[in-house]
Amino acid sequence: MIPKETDAQVDEALLIRQVRGGQTEAFEYFVRQYQRKITRVAYRLLRDAGEADCAAQESFLRAYQNLDDFREGSTFETWLTRICINWCKDRLKRRRIVVYLHQAPAAPDEESGPRDPASLAPHPGPTPERRALSREIRESLRRAIETLSPRQRSVFVLKHFEELSIPEIAELTGIDTGTVKSHLFRAAHKIRERLREFREGA
């Protein structure tokens, strides 16, 4: 019988052995258990709900097809998340190529470009103006994050949005902790640079 995702103490290693042994319906547990989490991770990286769904489905499919490669020292969740992050990084790389080929970098304009964050200092009280200004700050931050390389973006998102530790990020991305720190440092530096450019260009 397939355990429910709400069941406590599910032996995932046993379920994996069952799937490998031919009881493929046992894999259903993993989909029910992790679909939402994996979709959320993919959404944070891709910022597109349709692509995040696609990433989640493809990650499960790859995990299922390559179940023989799964080492039981690790958890299925970590392994699956790593597959998903790799898929998303590939997607981001392709997106950058498409953007490079089809779009000239848009100059920020008065209508849609970012404003000087220094001029957007919040005023006391949650006025509509203040909400609008904080939305613009978020937007400039989002745009700055989107300029990161796929790997920097993954590390940055996992650290600041998923609030994972450096060792956890290293395990998920398959790179050592020193490299994670280096990517994190460069990502933060690049974001600050972009935000400065936005301010100066405004």
Which stretch of DSSP H or E encloses residue 180?
Answer: helix 177-201
Report 95-114 residues binding other proteins (CB under 8 A). Answer: none
Q: Write out the two tokens for 16.
A: 């994996």
Judged by CB under 8 A, the residue of 10, 18, 32, 179 near other proteins is: 32
Report if residue 74 touches other proteins, rule: CB under 8 A. no
Report if residue 191 touches other proteins, rule: CB under 8 A. yes
CB under 8 Å to 160, separation ≥6 — which residues? none
Looking from the CA of 60 toward its CB, the CA atoms found within 13 Å total 19
Judged by CB under 8 A, the residue of 95, 117, 146, 149 near other proteins is: 117
Q: Are 84 and 38 in contact (CB under 8 A)?
A: yes
d(CA 24, CA 20): 7
Where does this chain bind other proteins (CB under 8 A)? 19-20, 22, 24, 27-28, 31-32, 35-36, 39-40, 43-44, 47, 49, 52-53, 56-57, 60-61, 64-68, 117-118, 120-122, 134, 137-138, 141-142, 145, 159-161, 166, 181, 184-189, 191-192, 195-196, 199
